């Protein structure tokens, strides 16, 4: 995440896609950071939730390579506290969905033994598909 | 009839959406229209000259200016036409900006069609307009100022010094307002005791100022130049003519109540003088807490002690009537109750206080004598966390606006704290630091250097108690790291809100407030001191939160407005008032009820409605309520309205 910002993508398809998928107007954010201050998992994240919003605002696709959207537990603390009513949890969900649509599958279900499959709760399997797919 | 139509582009505001050529072409076909012309800015000097020239050249006897809202430039264009001899009431505005180009920006064709209809309808109206002369009415050359804070004080002094009489009505027992509660003021660090108290004394001693403290305006009737005001003078239970302000009564009073002046940081007695420098310096009994007044017997220690024999438990409130020509509303602001900020533990933790409370703690003359101690245990706080935008810039939960003064007073409080507790440390959470005033940025820099305060860029998420310590959970967005601070004291820069009771007062005055309760100005840019009701002006933070410098300027501006209104013995009023067709009126009285200005009465002898043209504001409510169209507004006759509607409704 070092180096200078490349701003030529501030008006890109990428932003439009995120806005469409999430239904969130990311441009309203004035970067007060209250989402980050509220987040119970912020210590585990590589970038803060407000930085995640910032990268989206700038159309920077690097945001898809960060762990933050995947660490998000969708507890909605950020959404509840955002003074501007931006649904940050939804934004994280949109980022995950966009990554998922790239069809990079890291969990090979056919390599899990039948015995293991029987033991694993379905919900764990489903969330595994959703979360352990695209983080490079 | 020879009508000229002038179409304004308003830069791109109108011409950017509407097809001006099409408008000109269509309007020129309308009967009576002899000239159509467009210009980029019709309200500008060349634009107005153009209209004057055409009126003369084309011998026009009516003009329609197709431009912005009449509330903006109707007067301009009417005066302009009058200067070349056209009756001003033969000029009408067709509002094609607010009604066509702005609301239908994306639909230029439909918007153009609509604009053409609006212009044609206005042409039809102006054709049957009657030329009128303004009404002239005498004025009462006295001013009522409501609110005795620094705004009301400044406005009163300016008017009184110009030689006019002023009634200054303050609902609290003393004037001084919020400013009298401040410790020191930014950026000069003047103390209010040094700069406001002398003005308060000047008010009390001024021969032209009648000071009505502990009083409230309960009714206003009449109109610009001739208001009749009822003032309730609340019972103080102390004869202020006898009271010397010695405070012996307060010493013996056994009842202690949380002090409003010290915002709960200290206690006052049930009989009290608000603060030592109070003006008037007279005692007041709080009837809700005085034992004698609550139980109707007993106690009476103050009466026994008072050396002047001023206590009078039988005193009654009284209503006084005053006549004034203009009213200035200077009711100021309040701060949001910190207990509304539950996520910050406001109202729950004793050591989470509002900035106004911290002002009292910092004040050299305050309840702690300027010693900085925290409310819970009286200890000196070594770590103080300031939370800016507490309730401001938060449309989702509290107030959407920036409270404007918090950045500066927080910086000031951090500095004063450092002066009082040199080994203490201040943290300031902020979103943006706004220092928009003369010497303000320099002051902020001074605070950074001198107070060594740690400014953290981020909005605090929550404040809670853990192991007896206040934990402030925030973030520093500049380093991208979360922040947790163990605070001894938390000061919330709570949002500024309109003053309590302002909505009720606005109703009495028949003026408007915005959705929050700030007083609504006639025009935000060009008429920020006036209300939509002529003769009523706004001074200071009642319009919107502003600092002392701006408040004083604003108040002097309002005073100048009132003075210019009352500089003559008579004033002119719009002749657009209701008239009654006596042949048709049946005296049903519908119009009397519809009129909010009490301008209509039914004549008991003839049983016909009579209009007091001096009171009539020309709103048209009577016309709408009349079942037989017997009452009609001059130049808004039923016939005219129907002709306009038939054009507007045409497919």
Quote the ipTM score: 0.77
The sign of the torsion formed by the CA atoms of B562, B564, B570, B575 equals negative
Q: What is the pLDDT of residues A29-41, one digit of tens each?
A: 999 999 999 999 9
More confident residue, A127 or B599: B599
Compute the count of residue pairs across chains A and B with CB atoms less than 8 Å apart.
68
Contact call for B477 and A43, based on CB within 8 A: no
Partners of A30 on chain B (C-beta within 8 Å) are 393, 431-432
- Find chain A residues with C-beta within 8 A of B475's C-beta: 33-34, 36-37, 42, 48, 50
Which secondary structure element, helix H or strand E, spans residue B547, and what is its range?
A: none
Question: For residue B299, is it left (φ>0), alpha (ψ between -120 and 50) or beta?
Answer: left
Using the Cβ of A36 and the Cβ atoms of chain B, whether some distance falls under 8 Å is answered with yes
Q: Which regions of B188-330 does DSSP assign to beta strands (E)? A: 209-212, 215-223, 226-233, 256-258, 267-269, 271-272, 284-285, 318-324, 326-329
Largest CA distance in chain A: 51
Instruction: Measure A27 CA to nearest chain B CA, in Å.
Output: 15
d(CA B315, CA B219): 22
Q: Do A32 and B474 touch (CB under 8 A)?
A: no
* B441 DSSP β-pair partners: none
Please check the confidence at residue B195 and state whether its pLDDT lies above 90.
yes
The domain total for chain B is 5
Same domain for B343 and B200: no
Residues B287 and B416 in one domain: no
User: DSSP 3-state helix, strand, coil percentages of chain A (rounded to 5)?
Assistant: 60, 0, 40
Peptide bond into A63 cis (omega under 30): no
**Residue B412 vs residue A114, higher pLDDT:** B412
B647 falls within a domain: no
More confident residue, B427 or A99: B427
Q: What is the pLDDT of residues B55-93, one digit of tens each?
A: 999 999 999 999 999 988 999 999 999 999 999 999 999
Alpha helices in chain A (DSSP H): 13-22, 34-38, 49-57, 68-71, 77-81, 88-100, 114-119, 122-131
Contact of A25 with chain B, judged by CB distance below 8 Å, is answered with no
Whole-number Å distance between alpha carbons of B9 and B116: 14
CB B76 within 8 A of CB B104: no
CA torsion B521-B526-B528-B534 (nearest 10°) is -60
Quote the Cα angle for B425-B426-B428, to 5°: 155
Asked if residues A129 and A103 have their Cβ atoms less than 8 Å apart, the reply is no
Nearest to B461 among A30, A48, A81 (CB): A81
Whether residue B481 is found in the same domain as residue B514 = no
Considering CB atoms only, which of B396, B457, B482 is closest to A43?
Answer: B482
Under CATH, to which class is A9-102 assigned? mainly alpha
Q: Pick from A36, A83, A85: which is nearest to B482 by CB?
A: A36
Q: Are B350 and B376 in contact (CB under 8 A)?
A: yes
My answer on whether B366 and B487 are in the same domain is: yes
Q: Is B132 domain-assigned?
A: no
pLDDT > 70? residue A104: no
Domain boundary among B530, B565, B600: B565
A57–chain B Cβ distance below 8 A for any pair? no
Percentage of residues of chain B with pLDDT beyond 90: 94
Based on the domain organization, do B189 and B321 belong to the same domain? Answer: yes
CATH number of the domain bearing residue B396: 3.50.50.60
Residue with tokens 């002709």: B643
* pLDDT value, residue B211: 98
Task: Tell whether B471 lies on the interface with A, counting CB pairs under 8 A.
Answer: no
- Mutate one of A36, A71, A79 to test the B interface: name it (highest B CB count within 10 A): A36
Asked if the structure places residue B239 within a domain, the reply is no
| Per-residue pLDDT tens digits for B332-388 | 999 999 999 999 999 999 999 999 999 999 999 899 988 999 999 999 999 999 999
Q: Give the structural domain span for B543.
A: 142-234+317-332+499-565
What local confidence, expressed as pLDDT, does residue A103 receive?
67
**Number of neighbours of residue B25 by Cβ within 10 angstroms:** 12
Question: What is the pLDDT at residue A3?
Answer: 66
pLDDT at position B455: 96
pLDDT of B264-279, one tens digit each? 999 999 999 999 999 9
My answer on whether B447 and B376 are in the same domain is: yes
What's the pLDDT band for B638 if we cut at 50, 70, 90?
A: very high
Confidence of residue B560 (pLDDT cuts 50, 70, 90): very high
- Interchain CB contact of B462 with A (< 8 Å): yes
The verdict on residue B135 lying in a domain is no
Please list the residue range(s) of chain A that carry CATH number 1.10.1060.10: 9-102
Chain B residues touching residue A85 (CB < 8 angstroms): 395-396
- Domain of B622: which CATH number? 3.30.70.20
- Among chain A residues, CA nearest to B391: A83
| Residue A120 clears pLDDT 50, i.e. is over it | yes
Task: Note whether residue B571 is domain-resident.
Answer: no
Q: What is the DSSP string of B548-569?
A: HHHHHHHHHHHHHHHHHHTTSS
- The proportion of chain A whose per-residue pLDDT surpasses 70, expressed as a percent, equals 85
Give the distance from residue A106's alpha carbon to the nearest chain B alpha carbon, in angstroms.
30
CA-based R_g, chain B, Å: 30
Q: What is the mean pLDDT of chain B?
A: 95
Q: What angle do CA B275, B169, B303 make, to 5 degrees?
A: 50
Contact between B457 and A33 using a beta-carbon 8 Å cutoff? yes
Q: What is the mean pLDDT of residues B197-226?
A: 96
Whether B134 is in a domain gets the answer no
The pLDDT score that the predictor gives to residue B134 is: 87
Residues B195 and B78 in one domain: no
Q: Where are the alpha helices (DSSP H) in B285-325?
A: 291-295, 301-305
Distance from the first to the final alpha carbon of chain B: 26
Distance from the Cα of B454 to chain A's closest Cα (Å) equals 17
A34 at interface of B, judged by CB pairs closer than 8 A: yes
Lowest mean pLDDT among A57-71, B111-125, B478-492: A57-71
Residues B549 and B593 in one domain: no
B510 in contact with A at a CB cutoff of 8 Å? no
**Range B456-463 average pLDDT:** 96
Q: Does the beta carbon of A75 lie under 8 angstroms from any beta carbon of chain B? A: no
| A42 contacts B477? CB cut-off 8 A | no
- Considering only CB atoms, which chain B residues are within 8 Å of A34? 458-461, 475
Give residue B613's pLDDT band: very low, low, confident or very high (50, 70, 90).
confident
Specify whether B455 is located in the same domain as B520. no
Q: Which residues in chain A (78-117) have CB-CB distances under 8 A to chain B?
A: 81-85
Q: Does A48 touch chain B (CB under 8 A)?
A: yes
* The two three-digit tokens of residue B492, written as one number: 């919330």
Q: How far is A125 from chain B (nearest CA, A)?
A: 32
- Split at pLDDT 50, 70, 90, the class of A134 is very low
């Amino acid at each position: 995440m070092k180096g200078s910002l490349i701003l030529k993508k501030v008006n890109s398809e990428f932003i439009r896609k995120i806005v469409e998928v999430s239904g969130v107007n990311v441009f309203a954010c004035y970067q007060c950071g209250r989402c980050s201050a509220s987040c119970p998992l912020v210590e585990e994240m590589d970038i803060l939730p407000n930085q995640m919003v910032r990268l989206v605002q700038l159309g920077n696709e690097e945001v898809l390579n960060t762990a933050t959207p995947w660490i998000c537990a969708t507890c909605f603390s950020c959404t509840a506290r955002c003074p501007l009513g931006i649904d940050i949890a939804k934004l994280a969900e949109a980022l995950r969905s966009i990554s998922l649509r790239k069809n990079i599958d890291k969990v090979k279900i056919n390599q899990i033994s039948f015995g293991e499959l029987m033991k694993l709760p379905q919900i764990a399997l489903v969330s595994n598909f959703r979360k352990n797919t695209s983080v490079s | 009839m020879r009508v000229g139509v002038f179409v304004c582009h308003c830069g791109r505001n109108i011409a950017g959406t509407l097809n001006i050529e099409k408008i000109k072409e269509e309007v020129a076909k309308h009967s009576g229209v002899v000239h159509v012309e467009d210009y980029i800015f019709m309200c500008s000097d060349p634009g107005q000259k153009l209209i004057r020239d055409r009126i003369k050249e084309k011998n026009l006897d009516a003009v329609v200016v197709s431009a912005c809202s009449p509330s903006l430039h109707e007067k301009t264009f009417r005066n302009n036409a009058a200067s070349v001899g056209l009756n001003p009431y033969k000029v009408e505005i067709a509002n094609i900006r607010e009604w066509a180009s702005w609301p239908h920006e994306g639909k230029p064709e439909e918007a153009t069609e609509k604009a053409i209809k609006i212009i044609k309808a206005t042409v039809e109206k102006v054709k049957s307009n009657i030329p009128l002369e303004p009404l002239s009415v005498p004025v009462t050359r006295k001013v009522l100022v409501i609110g005795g804070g620094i705004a009301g004080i400044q406005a009163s002094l300016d008017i009184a010094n110009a030689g006019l009489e002023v009634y200054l009505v303050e609902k609290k027992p003393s004037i001084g307002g919020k400013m009298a509660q401040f410790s020191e003021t930014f950026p000069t660090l003047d103390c209010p005791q040094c700069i406001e108290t002398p003005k308060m004394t000047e008010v009390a001693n001024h021969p032209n100022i009648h000071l009505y403290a502990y009083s409230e305006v309960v009714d206003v009737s009449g109109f610009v130049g001739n208001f009749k005001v009822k003032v309730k003078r609340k019972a103080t239970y102390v004869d202020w003519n006898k009271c010397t302000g010695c405070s012996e009564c307060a010493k013996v009073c056994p009842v202690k109540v949380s002090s409003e002046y010290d915002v709960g940081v200290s206690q006052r007695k049930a009989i009290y003088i608000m603060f030592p420098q109070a003006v008037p310096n007279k005692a007041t009994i709080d009837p809700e807490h005085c034992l004698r007044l609550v139980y109707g017997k007993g106690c009476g220690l103050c009466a026994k002690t008072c050396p002047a024999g001023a206590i009078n438990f039988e005193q009654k409130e009284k209503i006084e009537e005053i006549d004034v020509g203009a009213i200035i509303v200077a009711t100021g602001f309040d701060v949001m109750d910190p207990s509304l900020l539950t996520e910050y533990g406001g109202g729950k933790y004793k050591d989470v206080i509002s900035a106004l409370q911290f002002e009292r703690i910092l004040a050299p003359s305050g309840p702690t004598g300027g010693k900085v101690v925290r409310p819970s245990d009286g200890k000196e706080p070594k770590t103080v966390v300031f939370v800016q935008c507490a309730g401001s810039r938060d449309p989702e939960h509290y107030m959407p606006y920036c409270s404007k003064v918090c950045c500066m007073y927080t910086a000031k409080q951090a500095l004063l704290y450092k002066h009082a507790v040199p080994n203490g440390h201040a943290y300031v959470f902020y979103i943006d630091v706004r220092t928009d005033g003369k010497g303000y940025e320099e002051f902020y820099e001074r605070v950074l250097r001198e107070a060594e305060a740690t400014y953290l860029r981020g909005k605090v998420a929550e404040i809670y108690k853990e192991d007896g310590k206040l934990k402030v959970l925030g973030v520093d967005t500049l380093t991208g790291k979360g922040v947790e601070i163990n605070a001894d004291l938390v000061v919330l820069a709570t949002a500024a809100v309109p003053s309590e009771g302002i909505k009720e007062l606005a109703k009495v005055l028949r003026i408007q407030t915005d959705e929050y309760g700030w007083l609504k100005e006639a025009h935000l840019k060009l008429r920020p001191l006036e209300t939509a009701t002529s003769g009523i002006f706004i001074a200071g933070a009642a319009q919107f939160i502003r600092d002392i410098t701006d408040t004083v300027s604003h108040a002097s501006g309002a005073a100048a407005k009132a003075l210019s209104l009352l500089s003559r013995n008579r004033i002119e009023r719009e002749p657009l008032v209701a008239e009654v067709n006596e042949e048709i009126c049946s005296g049903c009285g519908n119009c009397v009820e519809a009129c909010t200005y009490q301008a209509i009465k039914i004549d008991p002898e003839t049983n016909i409605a009579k209009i007091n043209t001096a009171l009539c504001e020309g709103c048209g409510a009577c016309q709408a309520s009349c079942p037989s169209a017997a009452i009609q507004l001059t130049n808004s006759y039923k016939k005219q309205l129907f002709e306009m509607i038939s054009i507007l409704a045409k497919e």
